[in-house]
Structure 1
């Protein structure tokens, strides 16, 4: 178990984290979603004790805290953070890196070969990492954390530089580790497939962690359907707002116009469809509100 008690971090008078109190349980995957620079990596650094909070404390199993160097050594046998690509040694092979991590955490050496096989690294794992591509280096970093086999695993932008096949493989491994009782916290601004494996997803904003279910309710869009109109304009948004003042209409940074409306209102959908056709926007899609839609509404 991992518990954060009233964690506060302040830089130059700005609250990066503000009285964060939350408990993460074994067998749970947590997603932390936010634009860069909003505090998700800061929170992980606090959990690892790389950064001391201005207030509050981090508590691990059986009340263990960062109250002494001796305790920190004990805690770092329970928790690990996925290494960054800049932490790799170009003159060492991938297998050598995995052996180092297995030795540091005194984990089962058999995990090395099984992880190499699961991630499809056999063809290059014995080569020096200086020859690796971005995706190969990212898979190695993920593999290094897997072989550490700690109870709590922290991952910052784990899917960076990976193709869809690799993303799916890593997603399946995360679900497997969850079934083993691991607590996994993943910080990311990439929303694709996060909903598939995360038990709870939080958006980080203004120093707080906001659960997405609460955000849906706060924005009044829980259970809504959305229409996505490609190549939207500010002019189209204004026309829609005038024609349908009761609906939430937003022009996203991507140029998509997002219209959300209560589901099971077929007549409303017909009216919007006819309006878009009359305004030379006959092509649109209708579906459930995605995590990406919510992200755009919440942050923009």
Structure 2
């Protein structure tokens, strides 16, 4: 278990993190979602003690905190952060990297071969990483994190540069690790993928972590339906708002207009559909509010 207690980070008078208090548990995948520069990486750096917060502390297993070098060594046997591609040595093979990580964390060496097989790396793992594509390098970084086998794993944009098949393979691996009592914290922009396997998802804004369920309680399959209108305009939004003042209508930064429908609102759907057709907007879709929709509403 890991607990953040009143973590505050301030740069040049700006609050990057503001009194963040939260507990992360075993068997849990946590998603952190936000535009760049809003504090996701800062939070991870605080957890790793790469950055000292201006206030607050991080507590591991109800007893350990970063008060001494001895404690830091003990904590870093419990927590690891996925390496960046720039951390790879081009003259070493992928397998050599995995052996180094396994040795550093004194994990079971058998994890090396099982991870290579699970991630489909057999054809290139013995080649020097300088010959790897971006996707191959990203898979290796993820594999290095897995073979460390720490209780808590931090991953920043783990799916970068991966095709849909690789994304699915890594997602399945994450779910297996969760079943092994791991706590996994992932900062990601792949919202649809994150929505499938994360236990809790937080939006980071104004130095705070806001739980998605607290922002919008009816997200996903049980939520309200929305109409998505591409190439919406302020004029169309104003017309629709006048005609149906009871509806929540929002024009997003990407010019998509979202119209939230009340539950059981099939009648209003027919009326709005007719209104859009009359205003030469035949191209629209209807579905449940998604995490991507909520992200756009929340940040834009």
TM-score range, shorter chain: over 0.9
Give the structure 2 partner of residue 52 of structure 1: 52
SS in 2 for 1:142: helix
Q: Distance in 2 between matches of 1:62 and 1:234?
A: 52
- Is the counterpart of residue 69 in structure 1 residue 72 in structure 2? no
Which structure 1 residue ranges, 4+ long, deviate > 3 Å from structure 2? Answer: none
Contact persistence 2:94–2:125 (CA under 8 A): yes
Aligned residues: 298
The Cα of 1:188 is off from its aligned counterpart by 1.5
Q: Distance in 2 between matches of 1:286 and 1:293?
A: 12
Give the structure 1 partner of residue 134 of structure 2: 134
What do the CA deviations read for 1:40-88 (whole angstroms, capped 9, x no partner)? 1100000000000000000001410101000000000000000011111
The Cα of 1:193 is off from its aligned counterpart by 1.3
Q: Distance in 1 between matches of 2:249 and 2:49?
A: 43
Q: Distance in 1 between matches of 2:270 and 2:161?
A: 41
Q: Distance in 1 between matches of 2:120 and 2:234?
A: 47
SS in 2 for 1:193: helix
Q: How does 1:27-106 map to 2 (within 5 A)?
A: 27-106=27-106
Give the structure 2 partner of residue 208 of structure 1: 208
Q: Distance in 1 between matches of 2:193 and 2:241?
A: 32
Q: Distance in 2 between matches of 1:250 and 1:137?
A: 40
Contact persistence 1:9–1:18 (CA under 8 A): yes
Indicate the RMSD between aligned Cα atoms, in angstroms.
1.4
What do the CA deviations read for 1:257-282 (whole angstroms, capped 9, x no partner)? 11112121111001100001111111
What do the CA deviations read for 1:6-59 (whole angstroms, capped 9, x no partner)? 100000001100111110001100001000000011000000000000000000
Contact persistence 1:60–1:75 (CA under 8 A): yes
Give the structure 2 partner of residue 293 of structure 1: 293
